[in-house]
Amino acid sequence: MQKTSINHKIIKQALLIRKVEQTFLDLFSQGKLNGTVHTCVGQEFSALAFAGQLKRSDFVFSNHRCHGHYIAFTRDFKGLMAELMGKAKGTCGGVGSSQHLCRNNFYSNGIQGGIVPVAAGYALANKLQGNDNIGLVYIGDGTLGEGVLYETMNIASKWSIPLLIVCENNFYAQSTPQDVNLAGDICQRAEAFGIKTYRADTWDPENLMAEAKNAINYVRESFKPAFFLVETYRLNAHSKGDDDRDEAEVEDYRKRDFLIRFEKESPEYYQKYQSSIDQEVDTYVAEILDAPELQLEEYYPNVRQGQNTNWSPLPMVKKRMVERLNTFFKDTMAAEPNTVFMGEDVLSPYGGAFKVARDLSDRFAERVFSTPISEAAITGIGNGLALNGMKPYVEIMFGDFVTLAMDQIVNHASKFHHMFLHQVNCPVVVRTPMGGRRGYGPTHSQTLDKFLIGIDNVKTIALSPLLDPYPVLEAIQREEHPVILIENKVDYGKRIATQRHPNFTYELDDARYPIVRIKPAASATDITLVAYGGMAELTHQILPQIFRETDQKPELIVLSQISPLPLQALLDSVAKTQQLIVLEEGSPSGGVGGEIIASVVENSKVPIRAKRIAALPVPIPSVKSLEGEVLPSPDRIIAEIQQWT
């Protein structure tokens, strides 16, 4: 073995990582770890070369095999050990455990590929904030199968995002050898996007450390992304007991492993370092074995909000919805420099498919991003921007496309705050227009709100022309957690609460996301109608006909927050009417209406009859007559109420 000039400090850190991993495996065998572990024995120098050579103000995103990266970047092996042992003093209180870690600019998540755009967003925020901090994201060769990786590489290259993507190629995706699943060349994938690539391996740590430093310097100095392929080999199973690799192959790599060689070559140093590390780690494990676990109220305080409702007259704004939205963004982006607007086709003069972004890119060129058609990546970039102090508004051009962004909403934005034990917030806003009645057909007319409610820690707000969107957006701007904002295509051109029926009173409550209530001015109400989004104005329009044809004096409650649901106004209304009809533009099964009814029924003190009026459960046809029949039409609404009452 040729003499290496590698610093013994680095060797000690590598030995520490290996010791911690071996200890996890021992603890797992003893039943002292809940869940599972993915160890990086054999891959330690990849952690030290990249995460270990960053500044503290840089950042690291990692994946399921993140322990080494964590120790190399944070030097906090104790927080990691306590975390995996499920202790309250763990880095995330034991919530995240092996795959979900967070401390001082270190983040990991267990979804393959999903962290890459988040890391890109985090890096973009650094660039927008004008500092020279960079970051890196570790992926494995298995992650090369995820499409969002390529969406992000495209954007990172195009927008010059200072992010180093480190691909740890250990030749196996869990148990599957690489040649089964991987086509073509790894580095050429990055090169195709114009990204500079590097290569090294963990069997020559000295070269790896040097090349890693070069790549880090390149990213920091050029403000461009780079891709680094590290060849390495894990000497243990993917997780536990799932190793079908050829023993001879593993043995061959063991012989090449630097630390094993070091043990043979410099036994005195090795023994000296190892025994000191053993003692430090073993002592700590013994010390925290009986340490307390997190209490539920520390994890989920479940604060109940007050329920007093004060009603005031509903203001009228003689502007169109789209003008008010556009004005909000112009005002807010001018006043609050952390506000970022992104979406497809949002640049001037086009200004987005529905013109919400009109003129924004002229005024705030550096903070308005017209994106490729990459819903998953741009939502992920929004998440990263939000984690790093920005207020991003991500526009998904049609609500139908929001399904492409669901991983980012459900597995990332929704989870960060709690899974990282309240250390971070992710105040991303995802805006998207839903609704039909424009003949756009099955994939551009849907109301998919049902998939956007009930997501933990995410508020879902739906606009309607009965309520000025400006103060609603002002409230969203102040939110510390993710918000999904549902707009409506046909409502963009409508003026706000200007058309009113005589004999009804129009009121709104004082909630952050107000409820609009339209009820008979003097008579008692017979029936409670609840609508939101595109159904709100349509239902409002036909209130007189509903009364005329059904003989029921109606009260219409228009929700703006549809998840979590505000219930008090609904409960107050049904206490009088005992009849509840929810009108929604999506199909009924498993939908918003069902959730509203269930929530009201389980909280109501009086028995209630309830009904959903919704779209038929088929794709929305383009042809006008059929579209009108599939979506709830005035005639159908009245007929259904008539039949039901």
Partner 1 sequence: MKVLQEISVPQESVNDDMLLVVSVPFANGAKVSDRDIVLELESSKTTFTIECETDGYIEYLCAEGDEVAVNKLIIKIYDEAPKASPNTMAPPLALSSNGNGHHKEVSETIVAKPQFAETMFSAAAERLIQEKGLSQTQFEGRDFVSLRDVQEALGLPAATQKWPKNFAKENKVSENAPLPTLPKADQEGIKLAPLSSLKKKEIQYLSSVQSAGLNSQVETYVDARGILAFVKPHFKVIKDSFLPLIIYEVGRLLKQYEALNAYFSEDGIAYYEQVNLGIAMDMGKGLKVLKVEDADRLSLQAVETELLSLSEAYLEDKIKPQQLSNITFTITDLSGEGVNRFSPLINMKNSAILGVSALDPQLERFALTLTFDHRISVGKEAAGFLSTLKRRLESYRRIIVPQGVNYYDPEQVSCYKCMKKLSQEVGDIGFMKMVSKEGKEVFICQSCLLGH
170 binding partner 1? (CB under 8 A): no
Beta bridge partners of 197: 227
Q: Does 35 bind partner 1 (CB under 8 A)?
A: no
CB of 333 to partner 1, least distance (A): 41
Closest CA to 172 of 183, 180, 164: 180
The distance of closest approach from Cβ of residue 635 to partner 1 in the complex, given in angstroms and rounded to an integer, is: 15
Q: Is there binding between residue 643 and partner 1 (CB under 8 A)?
A: no
> How many Å apart are CA 85 and CA 449, to the nearest integer?
39
Out of 197, 477, 578, 633, the residue judged to bind partner 1 by CB under 8 A: 578
Q: Which is nearer to partner 1, 432 or 552 (CB)?
A: 552
Q: Are 358 and 352 in contact (CB under 8 A)?
A: yes
CB of 529 to partner 1, least distance (A): 15
Nearer of residues 178 and 309 to partner 1, judged by Cβ: 309
x-or-dash string of contact with partner 1, 503-532, rule CB under 8 A: xxx--------------xxxxx-x------
Tell me the CA distances in angstroms from 314 to 121, 300, 517, one per residue in order.
39, 36, 9
Q: Which among 639, 615, 642 has a CA at the least distance from the CA of 626?
A: 615
CA distances, 414 to each of 269, 388, 570 (Å): 47, 16, 27
Beta-strand ranges (E) seen in 183-225 are 196-201
- Residues 596-615, mask of contacts with partner 1 (x by CB under 8 A): ---------xxx-x------
State which of positions 349-408 bind partner 1 (CB under 8 A).
none
Give the type of residue at 242: D
Instruction: Decide if residue 176 touches partner 1 (CB under 8 A).
Output: no
Interface stretch with partner 1, choices 128-136, 162-170, 546-554, 619-627 (CB under 8 A): 546-554
Shortest distance, position 581 Cβ to partner 1, whole Å = 13
Amino acid symbol at 104: N
- Applying CB under 8 A, which of residues 76, 263, 479, 549 lies at the interface with partner 1? 549
Q: CB nearer to partner 1: give 553 or 612.
A: 553
Cα–Cα distance for residue pair 457/328, rounded to 1 Å = 25
Helical packing angle, 258-265 and 247-256, nearest 10°? 60
Task: Tell me the closest approach of the beta carbon of residue 524 to partner 1, in angstroms.
Answer: 6
- Residue from the set 547, 582, 615, 630 that interacts with partner 1 by CB under 8 A: 547
Member of 63, 552, 561, 587 binding partner 1 (CB under 8 A): 552
Contact 86, 79 (CB under 8 A): no
Q: In what order do the strands lie in the sheet with 504-509?
A: 311-313, 504-509, 516-520, 554-559, 527-532, 579-583, 609-613
Contact 342, 374 (CB under 8 A): no
In the complex, the smallest distance separating the C-beta of residue 503 from partner 1, rounded to whole angstroms, is 4
241 binds partner 1 (CB under 8 A): no
Find the length of the chain. Answer: 645
Report residue 99 as tokens.
């795959």
Which residues make up the interface to partner 1 (CB under 8 A)? 502-505, 520-524, 526, 544, 547-553, 578-579, 605-607, 609, 645
